[in-house]
Structure 1
Amino acid sequence: MPETVHHRGLDAQGYIEREGSLGRIPHAFRPVVAAARDRLIDLYGGRLNSAYLYGSIPRGTARVGRSDLDLLVVTRQEPTEKDRAEARNLGEALDKEFPEIDGVGTLVYGRARLLSEPETYDLGWFVACLCTPLLGEDLAEDLPRYRPDSQLARETNGDLALLLPRWRERIATAEDTDEARRPLVRYMSRHLVRTGFTLVMPCWNGWTSDLQEMAKAFAAYYPERAEALRRAAECGYDPMGDAGVLRSYVDDLGPWLAKEYARVHGVKAPRPDDIA
């Protein structure tokens, strides 16, 4: 097996550094970020506890017309269906108004859920390490520091076996068009690459959000599956609505990865309202 070495993404003490910042947002995306910030305030008012950016835009790697805008909205109380509907409507409006982005993905969670003990090494880690503060309180101040260890691997991506039946249902019910399948290819490709990376993350001893670097790290430990994950990384960046790709994910790569993940790290602790 490859030697354990120090990689980028960790500080001098071996903790995962927070990625992204408002200062890294490319100039072309600043208007849409500003619009999102202002409209979140208008929409949620006193219900809003915090808002964050995550993904390629705050990392400074977004591509005009190809990258999506990723938002995390934190409500003071548990979010309602109205809260989620407003987030969806906001995303649709921004996507139509700003051609610089290719879609908007918005997560909506309550403050208590993000700071709860069961979420410490999943959503809590996500907030503390992968999210860039945009509005309100930064919950990272109430969360621990994180190392790229097996516990983190298990609690972030150790639920793939649970997700696969839901993915099959989403594929089966999607419209039979490339346009309808393309978002599924992008989402599932990225999820599988990240799962493959966190499978080897404790040995690789570092963190990255770059899909190609994730696939390369994985390849050093599982060369027999390297090509499949490399192709998934390509689809994560440039998805095509290929039904065959989706079938391979739920019939081959996904089941293998779920089984190997459970063998190496165990299974993620169940959540009462897990959704894919």
Structure 2
Amino acid sequence: MQMTNNSARTQTCVKVVTQLPSRNAFLPEPDRYAPLQSDFIPVMIKAVKQLRRLLGNRLHSVYISGDLVWRRAVVKESVLSLTVVCQQALTLDQSNALNTLLWRLKTSHHKIINDCHIDIVTTSHVRDLSQVFHWGFFFKHRAICLYGQDLSVSFGLFEASWEVAKAMNPDLSGKLARAKQKVTAASTWNTQLNTAQWIADTLIRGAFGLVMHKEGRWSESLEECAEAFIKHYPAQKTTVERLFILLERKPVKKRAVMTLLNDFGDWLIKEYARIDFKIG
């Protein structure tokens, strides 16, 4: 990849931050050369073609993440998670058109994917040194480039550090507050179940972030995240089981959901603060 001066500086700094004497300390990268699952290739090709048509010269690169990266995607169950890197922020018209594109991908490929998410980020943001533990880790260890200049080559390998754990679980307090507001205001089961499922996923991954540096590994599996967390916090086993009930979209009374979010969610935020103060 031919890099700009900014990306070259980023590469040098990242390697200094993450390099360890032994390569065994680094986290594994996804296999960027093995074939992707054939069932999902048509929807990925369609997404890239339409993104190129919509964004034109603003488009820098397109990435997949999640189960598709690890070849564990399940037809009708897995989500197509796309990260789109742009040279500049989108115009209002492009943002509106992107929402339409997202809807079309979901509806036209509903027999293959359960849902589709698209995150937009600019090149200046991903190359900002303050974002290195988030975007550097994401591109190097969690994503595969489908189109454009692969940003993973701009970063060195990362280890399972507390800095990465914090960066990959940003704004937990804000997400928790928004979830509480949505659950409180929900007037239909569908709204409550959607919100509860989303925040349960967020809290389980956030809980794993507390122990990632102790485990020395990263995991995309919610089951593995929960198992690792419970190993270090066995008293939270029942709470985690309740989060999985929300994750499975089982109807739970609003009061019970709010109690869970208030008790465990608030505890999780305080535990992040405690560990951050301890580690620094």
Normalised by the length of structure 1, the TM-score is 0.83
Gaps of at least 5 residues in structure 2 are 1-21
Q: 2:161 aligns with which of 149, 162, 169?
A: 149
What is the root-mean-square deviation in Å for CA atoms of aligned residues?
2.4
Q: Which has the larger radius of gyration?
A: 2
CA distance in 1, matches of 2:185, 2:118: 22
CA shift at 1:82, angstroms?
3.4
User: Is residue 2:249 matched to residue 1:239?
Assistant: yes
Identity of paired residues, percent? Answer: 24
Please give the alpha-carbon distance, in whole angstroms, between the structure 1 residues aligned to 2:277 and 2:87. 33
Distance, in Å, in 2 between the alignment partners of 1:228 and 1:51 is: 37
Query: Deviation per CA, 1:26-84, whole angstroms, max 9, x where unpaired?
Result: 32222211211211111111110011011112222222222221110111113343343
Is contact 1:201-1:207 (8 Å) kept? yes
Q: How do 1:3-18 and structure 2 match up within 5 A? A: 12-18=23-29
Per-residue displacement from partner, 1:2-38 (whole Å, max 9, x unpaired)? Answer: xxxxxxxxx9431122236474533222221121121
- Distance (Å, rounded) in 1 between the aligned partners of 2:81 and 2:244: 18
Aligned AA for 2:161? D
* Aligned residue identity for 2:59: L
* Offset, 1:223: 0.3
Name the residue aligned to 1:45: 56
**Separation in structure 2 between the aligned mates of residue 228 and residue 21 of structure 1, nearest angstrom:** 37
Aligned position for 2:143: 131
1:162–1:179: structure 2 CA closer, same or farther, 3 Å change rule? Answer: closer
Instruction: Choose 12-21 or 113-122, whichever is displaced more.
Output: 12-21
Q: Which of 92, 99, 111 in structure 2 is aligned with 1:88?
A: 99
- Which segments of 5 or more consecutive residues in structure 1 lack a partner in the other structure? 1-10, 268-276
Q: Where do residues 217-256 of structure 1 align in structure 2 (5 Å cutoff)?
A: 217-233=228-244, 235-236=246-247, 238-240=248-250, 242=252, 244=254, 246-256=257-267
Closer/same/farther in 2, CA of residues 76 and 91 from structure 1, 3 Å limit: same
Specify whether residues 71 and 15 from structure 1 end up closer, same or farther in structure 2 by C-alpha distance, changes over 3 A only.
Answer: same
Pair 1:117-2:126 in alignment: no
How many residues are paired up? 255
TM-score if structure 2 supplies the norm length? 0.82
Amino acid at match of 1:56: D
Listed one character per residue, the Cα deviations across residues 110-156 of structure 1 (whole Å, up to 9, x for unaligned) are 01101111211123322222111011011122223211111222232
Q: Which moved more, 1:239-248 or 1:123-132?
A: 239-248
**What amino acid is aligned across from residue 147 of structure 2 in structure 1?**
L
